[in-house]
Copies of this chain bind each other. A is one copy, B any other.
Amino acid sequence: MSVSFRVLARDEKTHARQGVLQTRHGKVDTPVFMPVGTAGTVKAMPHEFLEDLASQIFLANTYHLYLRPGEQVIGSQGGLHRFMSWKGPILTDSGGYQVFSHRSLRKITEEGVEFRSHLDGATHFFSPEKSIQVQQTFGADIIMMFDECTPYPVSEREAKESMRRSMRWAQRCKEVHDSEGAALFGIVQGSVFLPLRRESVERLCEINLPGLALGGLGVGEPRLLMYELIADLEGLMPQDKPRYLMGVGTPLDLLFCVKQGMDMFDCVLPTRNARNGTLFTSVGRIRIKNTCYRYDEGPLDPHCGCLVCKRYSRSYLRHLFVSGEIVSSILNTYHNLYFYLDFMEKIRQSIALNSLTEFEGRFRERYTESA
């Protein structure tokens, strides 16, 4: 097994666990937030800054890297780690999410999906086997099964069909997967239907994969429905394997889901918001372009210890953003990732001290998440 997972502490009042995921390229302390590095780089973050932030693992998108620079370029250099010059753990997604959500979609069959590149319109074909082969060429530490990310809303009948096909694809992924290589994680589908989700978990447990992800959430369904499902699934998912909630979410989403026993998260929110000038602070999100910051000499967040908050004023950050300076994206991304990573670090400490509820109380005293 190329990853091992150990739960080190459990919070008594919730289902939260604090653990460690050991990979071939180092350990990952969980619960973990994984920044998104779509094209083999976290946008606006040189690796040097990611290392400064002690970010342990990031997610790269197979779809994007497959189209550019392509398997051959990355493969000829022995994989993503060497290509990017990144020594730590990497997780790649399967490409499924992009293939299904881009308008480039051509045709889904039992065999796989034909799609068009968003770059040049060329036709490509992804199957479970192809996705695993590409991901293995990329050489990430954790790779994901090829699944259909069921859209929302969807009828129960369609959701069942889609989930069952994904589960057949999971089996095919497992069959071609090199068990000496990356750890292959399964993805639970079934939309908002608990019986389908349960069936999907059971099916993936039979296939026996070293980690389970929840897919197809945060795709437009009401947030409370997502919360309910995650709470219900907690009892159904194996306790001894890492649980990864894909593509979610806000700080309060993360906190809620940690309390439901989720261990891993990825989301474009902190990085994309940063580039759009929306910054996470201890009181909530702020839009740095607002006129009220024009003369504001104070730090972005007086409770933040990051280099941006220690050095720069809101007035300067606003100026950089309004002027469209690249440095605005860099500093904003640095701060937002610091916020997310620091938040997860405090969550891990609180679980270890059995005081997650108290942490949440203190956090919510100041923090308001606007819709």
- Asked if A316 is at the interface (CB within 8 A of a chain B CB), the reply is yes
In the bound complex, residues from chain B placing their C-beta under 8 Å from that of A320 are 39, 41
A83 touches B313 (CB 8 A): yes
Near B by CB (< 8 A), chain A positions 28-55 give 39-48
Can you offer 20 A-B residue contacts whose CB atoms are under 8 A? A39-B320, A41-B325, A43-B325, A43-B326, A44-B330, A46-B331, A47-B311, A68-B323, A69-B294, A69-B315, A69-B318, A69-B319, A77-B295, A77-B313, A77-B315, A83-B315, A85-B312, A85-B316, A326-B326, A326-B330
* Known contacts A85-B313, A313-B77; is-contact A46 B330 (Cβ 8 Å): yes
* Known contacts A315-B83, A319-B73; is-contact A326 B325 (Cβ 8 Å): no
In the assembled complex, the Cα of A315 lies from the Cα of B79 at a distance in Å of 13
B316 touches A84 (CB 8 A): yes
Chain A residues within CB distance 8 Å of chain B: 39-48, 68-69, 72-73, 76-77, 83-85, 294-295, 297, 307, 311-313, 315-316, 318-320, 322-323, 325-327, 329-331
Known: A69-B319, A77-B295, A83-B319; 13 extra A-B contacts, CB below 8 A, are A41-B320, A41-B325, A46-B327, A46-B330, A68-B323, A69-B322, A73-B294, A83-B313, A83-B315, A85-B311, A326-B326, A326-B329, A330-B330
In the assembled complex, the Cα of A323 lies from the Cα of B326 at a distance in Å of 16
Residue from B45, B46, B294, B327 within 8 A of A43 (CB atoms): B327
In the assembled complex, the Cα of A313 lies from the Cα of B85 at a distance in Å of 8
B315 touches A73 (CB 8 A): yes
Residue from B83, B316, B318 within 8 A of A316 (CB atoms): B83
Nearest Cβ on chain B to A267's Cβ, whole angstroms: 19
By beta carbon, the residue of chain B nearest A43 is B326
Number of copies: 2
By beta carbon, the residue of chain B nearest A64 is B323
In the assembled complex, the Cα of A326 lies from the Cα of B330 at a distance in Å of 8
In the bound complex, residues from chain B placing their C-beta under 8 Å from that of A312 are 85
* Known contacts A85-B311, A312-B85; is-contact A326 B294 (Cβ 8 Å): no
* Known contacts A329-B326, A330-B330; is-contact A297 B85 (Cβ 8 Å): no
In the bound complex, residues from chain B placing their C-beta under 8 Å from that of A73 are 294-295, 315, 319
A322 touches B44 (CB 8 A): no
B316 touches A44 (CB 8 A): no
In the assembled complex, the Cα of A206 lies from the Cα of B322 at a distance in Å of 43
By beta carbon, the residue of chain B nearest A328 is B41
In the assembled complex, the Cα of A50 lies from the Cα of B330 at a distance in Å of 14
Residue from B42, B44, B48 within 8 A of A307 (CB atoms): B48
Nearest Cβ on chain B to A156's Cβ, whole angstroms: 40
In the bound complex, residues from chain B placing their C-beta under 8 Å from that of A47 are 311
In the bound complex, residues from chain B placing their C-beta under 8 Å from that of A327 are 41-46
Nearest Cβ on chain B to A48's Cβ, whole angstroms: 7
In the bound complex, residues from chain B placing their C-beta under 8 Å from that of A68 are 319, 322-323
In the bound complex, residues from chain B placing their C-beta under 8 Å from that of A76 are 295
By beta carbon, the residue of chain B nearest A77 is B297
By beta carbon, the residue of chain B nearest A48 is B307
The 6 closest A-B pairs by CB, nearest first: A44-B326, A69-B319, A41-B327, A39-B323, A85-B311, A41-B325
Q: Max chain B CB contacts within 10 Å: which of A313, A327, A330? A: A327
* Known contacts A48-B307, A295-B73, A329-B326; is-contact A319 B43 (Cβ 8 Å): no
By beta carbon, the residue of chain B nearest A311 is B85
Nearest Cβ on chain B to A322's Cβ, whole angstroms: 7
In the assembled complex, the Cα of A266 lies from the Cα of B338 at a distance in Å of 35
